[in-house]
Amino acid sequence: MEGETISVIIPAYNVAPWLPRCLDSVLAQTYSKLEIIVVDDGSADNTRQVMESYAARDARIRPIFKENGGVTSARLAGVAAATGEWVGFADGDDAIDPDMYRHLLENAHTYDADISHCGHRVEFPDGRVAYVHNTGGLRQQDNLTGLQDLLDGGQVESSLCTKLYRRELSAGLAERMNPAIKNNEDYLMNYFLFSRAKRSVYEDFCPYRYILRENSASFRQLNEHSLFDPIRVRELIVEDSCDEIREDARRALMRNLLFAYAQLSVHPEKRYDEWRRRVRAEMKEQEGYFHLLSKRNRLLAKMVCRTPGLFGLTYRLYEKLFRREEEH
């Protein structure tokens, strides 16, 4: 194990204030045989200078500079340059705990896995920290259960950053990714990678630090990419999926359509009416598959199709009550 190299790919776009924290956390890993590939995706701030400064201090850091093409193109550029036996990802404004890669690599060898993955914690601007699961449990997955867990959203998170992949899984990945997709592209990439993995292992601990800023994606206004890209991703997966997981893929698509319509229900402004019509039309196309949903989601899906006004009113009331409970 000690002789194997982990290629850590870090896409970086205008992250100069936060990139040192990320790089320091990667350089502090207790597993030191790392190739750290930082891809500057055409930044307009001092990201390049930060990268060059760190590369001058540690030979493990390999900077790549390219024109802006989005996070997927930056990650794929890193994958193309990687030479390690294993590949991991981190975002330039996040950080990781010192034992993360050693722990994931040990699990990969112990369980003969092509993908070793874990949970994460979310650090909010107000100082709150939320752990995603963190039960300490362990789950082994074959090819089919790994894909089902990804589509279900339970034991496989959509993030690329909580995982270690055998590099050979990424062969041909660039040809399969859709560069027009700007949101939820990590979910699609994970689908392609898990499709090739014979075995995966998940341990429920949270060494990856997803650090939210006020202008992080989670705080941005609703936009067309954030709303429709996740739907398109799941449509692509339905089209690509094998018979054994097609129902899981379609269920994931319908759940996402419900989530999209719920997001729009919180924004009753007329400027979102066309988007509401689009999502509702796509939900109606899935009506023959509503039996795949849980009883609750089946009822909600029927409400979207038949009584959308009632769905919107009910969801806004639910949101108001939920937030009131949170405040108390």
Handedness of CA 156, 158, 161, 165 (dihedral sign): positive
Rounded Cα distance between 223 and 297, Å, is: 24
Q: What is the mean pLDDT of the chain?
A: 93
pLDDT for position 214: 74
Rounded Cα distance between 183 and 105, Å, is: 29
Residues 6+ positions from 309 with CB-CB distance below 8 Å: none
Least reliable range by pLDDT among 53-62, 211-220, 249-258: 211-220
DSSP reduced 3-state for 38: strand
Of the pLDDT bands very low, low, confident and very high (cuts 50, 70, 90), residue 328 is: very low
Q: What is the CA radius of gyration of the chain?
A: 21
Of the pLDDT bands very low, low, confident and very high (cuts 50, 70, 90), residue 220 is: low
- 253-303 pLDDT, tens per residue? 999 999 999 999 888 889 999 999 999 999 999 999 999 999 999 999 999
| Closest-CA residue to 315 (of 237, 242, 276, 259) | 259
Find the mean pLDDT for residues 238-261.
97
Residues of the chain with CATH 3.90.550.10: 6-217
Q: List beta partners, residue 7.
A: 35, 87
Q: Rounded to 10 degrees, what is the CA torsion of 91, 95, 96, 97?
A: 180
Find the mean pLDDT for residues 186-197.
98
> How many beta carbons lie within 10 A of that of residue 59, not counting itself?
9
- 126-170 pLDDT, tens per residue? 999 999 888 889 999 999 999 999 999 877 889 999 999 999 999
Find the mean pLDDT for residues 93-101.
98
Q: What is the pTM of this model?
A: 0.93
Rounded Cα distance between 242 and 246, Å, is: 6
Handedness of CA 190, 29, 71, 275 (dihedral sign): positive
Which CATH architecture best describes the domain 6-217? Alpha-Beta Complex (3.90)
